[in-house]
């Protein structure tokens, strides 16, 4: 068992940067990262063959060309360290460099997962004490993305008798790997995963994060998705090019929600400028799943160049209206009916900052809906969204 004092001393050896070091937003995460991650669907069962099949499906489904480029292997790829401390893959991933070459040959990028703890969340080898060495290994394999999950360190602290991981300790741990990644010489997108503790949105960018999880883990059901997604209100000012709030990966296509509930998921994540990391099996997608993940008009909202995250404008009972300002001067406006019954909603022009009559387009029906004037109203089926692009 590691003593808390030893942990603190080791982590304290890495000083915090004197100034914020933002990642290079011109190349890394200028817009929210898009791709696929193994965890939501495959959990610990991921292996080389699955990852290759997902990469191939990413291309053949049209997802790569729609912007999804990261193929991210989550926890459970790790093997043992050798006598020089170098991390190796486990038997499910016989050759990570060859896998990265394969993924790159498809015009995609490869991501990995680790933890600042001795162990990862699923109990595999974490990066504690090997941060620079691991970053160098990742770079030598051709890794392009790292999800760094606090979980292991939290478990370690609990075992050492503390219920909390102090903020300074988290910052030191994240800064250390940030420095390791920078020293590796390879641009590697850095995604922090510590569930939103200690208002990470206020300091995630200062420790090098290109994205930071703002919540606990999402599950494939309406309640989980709604409670995570609609609790993002108020965080918009912390995100921007190179550094994004991350309300966790997508569950679209995993089967636990209806098509219109998954449309809510995709619409809200786009308004939130959230990373769009598909979490389903891309080799067996239904047409309905493809229509959601590949909706180019909704993806364009998420990837809008202005990089301004949207927020809740107002809510009436279970109907919420969220809006996001876009680079061309228009707005994406989502009317979300979270009720189990149909609801009627009048669009509040003043609250939305709309002055005169405007033009609307329905981004799920892919249809211009003509003039939208004050008093515009809609009846929304239960658990549904009307996602509009409104230009004046």
Report, as residue numbers or ranges, the catalytic residues: 149, 217
Q: What is the closest distance, in whole angstroms, from the C-beta atom of residue 213 to ligand GLA in the complex?
A: 7
Contacting residue, 47, 75, 78, 179, with ligand GLA by CB under 6 A:
75
Contact residues for 375 (Cβ-Cβ < 8 A; gap 6+): 346
Residue nearest to ligand GLA (CB): 121
**Total Cβ atoms within 10 A of residue 142:** 17
Report the SS3 class of residue 51: helix
Helices (H) and strands (E) in the chain, counts: 13, 18
Q: Which structure tokens are listed for 216?
A: 């606990």
The DSSP symbol for 240 reads B
| Alpha-carbon span 15 to 268, nearest angstrom | 38
| Alpha-carbon span 202 to 227, nearest angstrom | 21
Choose one: 94-102, 114-122, 131-139, 380-388; the region binding ligand GLA (CB under 6 A).
Answer: 114-122
Q: What is the closest distance, in whole angstroms, from the C-beta atom of residue 306 to ligand GLA in the complex?
A: 28
**Residue nearer to ligand GLA on the CB measure, 74 or 220:** 74
Contacting residue, 39, 269, 336, 376, with ligand GLA by CB under 6 A:
39
**Residue nearer to ligand GLA on the CB measure, 113 or 145:** 113
Can you tell me which residue has the tokens 């997962």?
A: 113
Q: What is the closest distance, in whole angstroms, from the C-beta atom of residue 151 to ligand GLA in the complex?
A: 5
**Residue 151 binds to ligand GLA (criterion: CB under 6 A):** yes
Contacting residue, 48, 144, 149, 246, with ligand GLA by CB under 6 A:
149
Binding mask 200-239 for ligand GLA (x = CB under 6 A): -----------------x----------------------
227 HSE (CA, 13 A, CB side):
9
User: 264-281: string of b/e by CB count within 10 Å (b at 16+)?
Assistant: bbbbbbbbbbbbbbbbbb
Residues at the site binding ligand GLA, with contacts judged by CB under 6 A: 39, 74-75, 113, 120-122, 149, 151, 193, 217
């Amino acid at each position: 068992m590691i003593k808390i004092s030893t942990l603190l001393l080791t982590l304290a050896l890495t000083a915090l940067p004197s100034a914020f070091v933002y990642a290079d937003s011109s190349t890394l995460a200028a817009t929210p990262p898009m791709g696929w991650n193994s965890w939501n669907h495959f959990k610990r069962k991921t292996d080389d063959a699955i990852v290759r099949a997902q990469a191939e499906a990413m291309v053949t489904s049209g997802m790569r060309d729609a912007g999804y480029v990261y193929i991210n292997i989550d926890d459970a790829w790790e093997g043992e360290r050798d006598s020089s401390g170098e991390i190796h893959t486990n038997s499910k991933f016989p050759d990570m460099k060859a896998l990265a070459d394969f993924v790159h040959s498809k015009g995609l990028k490869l991501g990995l997962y680790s933890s600042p703890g001795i162990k990862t969340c699923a109990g595999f080898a974490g990066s504690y004490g090997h941060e620079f060495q691991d970053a160098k290994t990742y770079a030598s394999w051709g890794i392009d993305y790292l999800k760094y999950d606090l979980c292991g360190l939290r478990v370690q602290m609990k075992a050492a008798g503390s219920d909390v991981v102090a903020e300074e300790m988290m910052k030191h741990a994240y800064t250390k790997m940030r420095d390791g990644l920078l020293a590796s010489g390879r641009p590697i997108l850095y995604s922090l995963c510590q569930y939103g503790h200690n208002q990470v949105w206020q300091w995630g960018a200062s420790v090098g994060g290109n994205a930071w999880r703002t919540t606990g883990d999402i599950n494939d059901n309406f309640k989980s998705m709604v409670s995570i997604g609609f609790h993002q209100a108020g965080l918009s000012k912390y995100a921007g090019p190179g550094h994004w709030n991350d309300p966790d990966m997508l569950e679209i296509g995993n089967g636990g929600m209806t098509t219109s509930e998954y449309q809510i998921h995709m619409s809200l994540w786009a308004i939130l400028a959230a990373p769009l990391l598909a979490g389903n099996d891309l080799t067996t997608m239904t047409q309905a799943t493809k229509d959601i993940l590949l909706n180019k008009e909704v993806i364009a909202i998420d990837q809008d160049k202005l990089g301004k995250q949207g927020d809740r404008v107002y809510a009436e009972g279970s109907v919420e209206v969220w809006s996001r300002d876009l680079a061309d001067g228009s707005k994406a406006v989502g009317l979300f009916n979270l009720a189990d019954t149909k609801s009627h909603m009048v669009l509040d022009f003043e609250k939305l900052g709309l002055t005169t009559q405007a033009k609307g387009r329905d981004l799920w029906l892919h249809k211009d809906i003509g003039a939208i004037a004050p008093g515009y109203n809609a009846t929304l089926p239960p658990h549904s969204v009307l996602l509009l692009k409104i230009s004046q």
